């Protein structure tokens, strides 16, 4: 009796996983969907805004990590998050800048204020902050800052 064995071609075996870019795209899509759905189903508008801010920060973090992988560094504080939308024309040169940028557009936080970006950050390679409802540093309750390095 002859036994048959199935062989997987090396090409198929090599193509069977997900690339980092595919996974990052899925994470961004899920973040966008969650950002659209969560505020509609939550009872408390402030909590929905905080969730939306955290999701937007996560999307910006994915863009920053992609920028770093392509160029070997994070954008400086002076280059700001704008470096994710358009190639910086000052400071350290981003020689492998991706055509089309790293995010389609820069979101404002749920209180219609720009996110604050610093690199290097005090809490990591970079820090992203939303000043909350009062649009000022510090604050408590609904005015509390939302920071990329804090998870709640």
pLDDT at 64: 96
pLDDT at 40: 66
pLDDT average, residue stretch 125-133: 94
Strand stretches in the chain, DSSP E: 116-118, 127-130, 146-147
**Tens digit of pLDDT for each residue in 19-65?**
888 888 888 888 888 887 766 665 578 888 888 999 999 999 999 99
Select from 56, 136, 127 the least CA-distant residue to 48. 56
**Tens digit of pLDDT for each residue in 10-19?**
555 555 677 8
Angle at 17 between CA 148 and CA 21, to 5 degrees: 35
pLDDT at 111: 93
Chain position carrying tokens 């069977």: 16
Select from 89, 36, 88, 37 the least CA-distant residue to 64. 88
pLDDT at 103: 93
* 98 three-state secondary structure: coil
The CATH number that applies at residue 140 is 3.30.700.10
Average per-residue pLDDT for the chain:
86
Classify residue 53: in a domain, yes or no: yes
Classify residue 120: in a domain, yes or no: yes
pLDDT at 44: 74
Q: By residue range, what is the domain housing residue 140?
A: 18-147
Classify residue 10: in a domain, yes or no: no
């Amino acid at each position: 009796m002859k036994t048959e064995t199935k062989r997987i071609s090396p090409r198929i075996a090599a193509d069977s996983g997900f690339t980092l870019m595919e996974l990052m795209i899925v994470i961004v899509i899920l973040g966008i969907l969650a950002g659209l759905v969560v505020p509609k189903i939550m009872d408390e508008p402030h909590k929905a805004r905080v969730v939306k801010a955290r999701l937007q920060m996560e999307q910006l973090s994915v863009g920053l990590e992609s920028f770093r992988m392509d160029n070997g560094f994070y954008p400086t504080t002076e280059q700001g998050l704008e470096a994710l939308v358009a190639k910086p024309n000052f400071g350290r040169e981003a020689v492998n800048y991706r055509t089309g940028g790293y995010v389609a557009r820069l979101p404002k936080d749920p209180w219609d204020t720009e996110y604050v970006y610093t690199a290097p950050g005090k809490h990591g390679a970079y820090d992203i902050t939303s000043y909350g409802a009062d649009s000022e540093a510090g604050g408590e309750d609904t005015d509390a800052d939302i920071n990329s390095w804090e998870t709640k």
